[in-house]
Amino acid sequence: MHEDFWKNISNVDDHYISYFLYKEGKSLETIAIIRRMSKGEVEKDIIRCKIEQANKQNKKEEKEDELIKIISLPKKERLCYLNSMTDKEKEFLSKDIYKRYIKFKNPEDRIILIWLIGELKDESLIPFLKMELNSKNVNYRRLSCSALGKINKKETKSLLEEKLKDENSQVRQYAIKALASIGDNKTIELLKKIVLNDEKEYVRRSALDTINEIKNNI
């Protein structure tokens, strides 16, 4: 399919070139460099193509395409859209994410999916967050910690405690914040070490705040 696209590139609309590079997994920044466009122009191309693709689907496929629609929305509109959904619609969306998660290779899409999992608070999607906690992508790890914090299950405490040792300071901070509601005395001891030893002041401050929150909860 990829080979056929590039063979017939002279016959496709210009904005589909950006979209196809995006489908191959290239970041917006990379596409912008390749196409000599601004990142904003690339985003417009991709959104335009996503809408065109969604519109081509028949009514039977509309629900399945809802995930693409949500991913394509700006963040504020995406949040409003989620808030307007019924519990049943959110359940369907969670099942759709479960079926299709690994098919989304583009980093920007993955980041939105991780965010969506946190907003939906569906425990069945935790395995994807667990997988992303070990990703080489810092943003995947950081946002997975945040999503686990929103899901707020004691069973994920050890996963988050493990990320307190992450090499990236933002990941450590997000893990710390996510432990505020599910941490225990063991967590407090781990956080005390961070308060004393972490190289980043904002991480130490977050650890101290979370210690106080855990103590209040206990």
Spatial contact of 110 and 104, defined as CB atoms under 8 Å apart:
yes
Token code pair at residue 202: 């904002």
pLDDT tens digit sequence for 125-157: 999 999 999 999 999 999 999 999 999 999 999
User: Is pLDDT of 55 > 80?
Assistant: no
Give the pLDDT band (50/70/90) at residue 3.
low
User: Is pLDDT of 100 > 60?
Assistant: yes
DSSP category for residue 156: G
**Dist. CA 114–CA 179, nearest whole Å:** 18
User: Is pLDDT of 7 > 70?
Assistant: no
Average pLDDT for 1-24: 73
Residues 6+ apart with CB under 8 A from 2: 20, 24
pLDDT tens digit sequence for 172-206: 999 999 999 999 999 999 999 999 999 999 999 99
User: Is pLDDT of 118 > 50?
Assistant: yes
Range among 52-56, 57-61, 127-131 rated most confident = 127-131
In order of 142, 154, 170, 181, 195, the CA distances from 184 in angstroms are 21, 10, 22, 9, 16
Give the pLDDT band (50/70/90) at residue 114.
very high
pLDDT tens digit sequence for 64-85: 578 998 999 988 899 999 999 9
Q: Which amino acid, residue 128? A: F
Give the pLDDT band (50/70/90) at residue 63.
low
User: Is pLDDT of 168 > 50?
Assistant: yes
How high is the pLDDT of residue 17?
85
Nearest CA among 129, 57, 122 for reference residue 89: 122
How high is the pLDDT of residue 1?
45
**Dist. CA 94–CA 122, nearest whole Å:** 7
Query: Sign of the CA dihedral 52, 53, 59, 65?
Result: negative
